[in-house]
């Protein structure tokens, strides 16, 4: 069985405050570091042969814990970054609603960035993320496992596009929890890649965030 395990990074202070992070380079907080440590034995049990990460600090710090636990070298790729959240970066949902009411309404209606000035569109994110996922998948030897640490919103939209799902199907996925993971697998080269599991967690009580405060662009 060939597998690609997609992991969201651990918690940051901005996640806890419900602030959109985008490309703002925020590191893990104490909870996030603990989440990565709790996750590490689960990743060791997956016996990965390769470890990839977004180049943003919160993802690299999470992946570094996994690298130390597995003994793998860590590779980074800037294409695995979160959405650039543009002028929404650093804002809570309440601040976003107050400062950008029209864009907030669009976000509430289902547009992932709300068309905020300077923000990447889902199509732009898919255009950089899916080729990266394809290259990483193709480089994974048959029967082996690759682990990749990235970000919630970009993983959600790119996973759906990678699998060829219609947009309305991808929209039914919720974002991954901090240090939650999804598993893509293929049991033979002539078989389709499938989503085997989504939002698995090591200890849900440790890293699930209240839906009212979790940032969708973190």
Alpha-carbon distance 214 to 142, whole Å? 37
Sheet bearing 50-53, strands edge to edge: 74-76, 50-53, 145-150, 2-8, 181-186, 194-200
Burial class (CB in 10 A: 0-12, 13-18, 19+), 195: middle
- Residue 82 annotated among the catalytic residues of the structure: yes
Q: Give the pairing of strands 181-186 and 74-76.
A: unpaired
9: annotated active-site residue: yes
Q: Which entry of 37, 82, 95, 135 is annotated as an active-site residue?
A: 82
Backbone angles phi, psi at 198, to 5 degrees: -145, 135
**Number of neighbours of residue 73 by Cβ within 10 angstroms:** 8
Catalytic residue among 9, 104, 151, 207: 9
Q: How many helices (H) and strands (E) does the chain have?
A: 9, 6
Distance from the first to the final alpha carbon of the chain: 31
What are the catalytic residues?
9, 82
């Amino acid at each position: 069985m060939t597998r690609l395990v997609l992991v969201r990074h651990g918690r940051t202070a901005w996640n806890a405050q419900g602030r959109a992070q985008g490309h703002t380079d925020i590191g893990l907080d104490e909870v996030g570091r603990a989440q990565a440590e709790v996750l590490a034995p689960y990743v060791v049990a997956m016996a990965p042969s390769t470890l990839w990460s977004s180049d943003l600090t919160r993802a690299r710090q999470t992946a570094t814990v996994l690298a130390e636990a597995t003994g793998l070298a860590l590779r980074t790729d800037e294409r695995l970054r979160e959405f650039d959240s543009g002028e929404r970066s650093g804002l809570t949902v309440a601040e976003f609603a107050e400062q950008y009411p029209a864009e907030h309404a669009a976000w509430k209606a289902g547009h992932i960035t709300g068309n905020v000035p300077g923000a990447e569109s889902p199509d732009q994110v898919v255009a950089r993320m899916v080729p990266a996922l394809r290259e990483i998948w193709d480089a994974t030897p048959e029967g082996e496992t690759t682990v990749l640490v990235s970000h919630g919103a970009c993983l959600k939209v790119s996973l759906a596009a990678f699998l060829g799902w219609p947009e309305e199907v991808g929209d039914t996925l919720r974002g991954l929890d901090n240090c939650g993971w999804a598993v893509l697998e293929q049991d033979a080269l002539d078989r389709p890649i499938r989503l085997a599991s989504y939002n698995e967690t090591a200890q849900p009580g440790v890293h699930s965030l209240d839906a009212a405060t979790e940032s969708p662009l973190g």
